[in-house]
Structure 1
Amino acid sequence: MQLVLYNLRKNEKHVTQEEIANYLGISANAYRAKEKGVREFSQDEMFALSRYFGKTMDEIFLPRKYQIGTKM
């Protein structure tokens, strides 16, 4: 599951999965599958989400143990 993305969506932007899906131009079901980790986001979708949330793609999508400044 994309926990960082989930938390950004729910706690910072307070938007629904459907609203993000519309922003990306995909179905709500497709977005749900991607947020759950069942399907992967395309590079274009990752870039769009990083702009939407004002975060780098690494901050959203890079596994926590590989992020700079994170102790393993």
Structure 2
Amino acid sequence: MPSAFTAEAIACWKAVQVGVEKGWQFQHTPRSTNNLAHILPTETLRRREEIYLEMGVPEYAKDQTRYDGVSEPD
């Protein structure tokens, strides 16, 4: 990926694609609560890793959710 912006754009596109295929409903998320969506591609590019989020998330993403106080819905 040439930039974090490109990685985020592709990640968003893929997320929408998967969501549409699975019939998920999407809702707007305020930018202030969207740190995790920014950290995943940025850290992945910095570490030169390739990740897939189907079976879980990298440890740095878990750290960010703890930092943000975000928890999974019940």
Q: Which has the higher helix share?
A: 1
TM range (shorter): 0.3 to 0.5
Bigger radius of gyration among the two: 2
**Which one has more relative contact order, counting CA pairs under 8 Å at least 6 apart?**
2
* TM-score when normalising by structure 2: 0.33
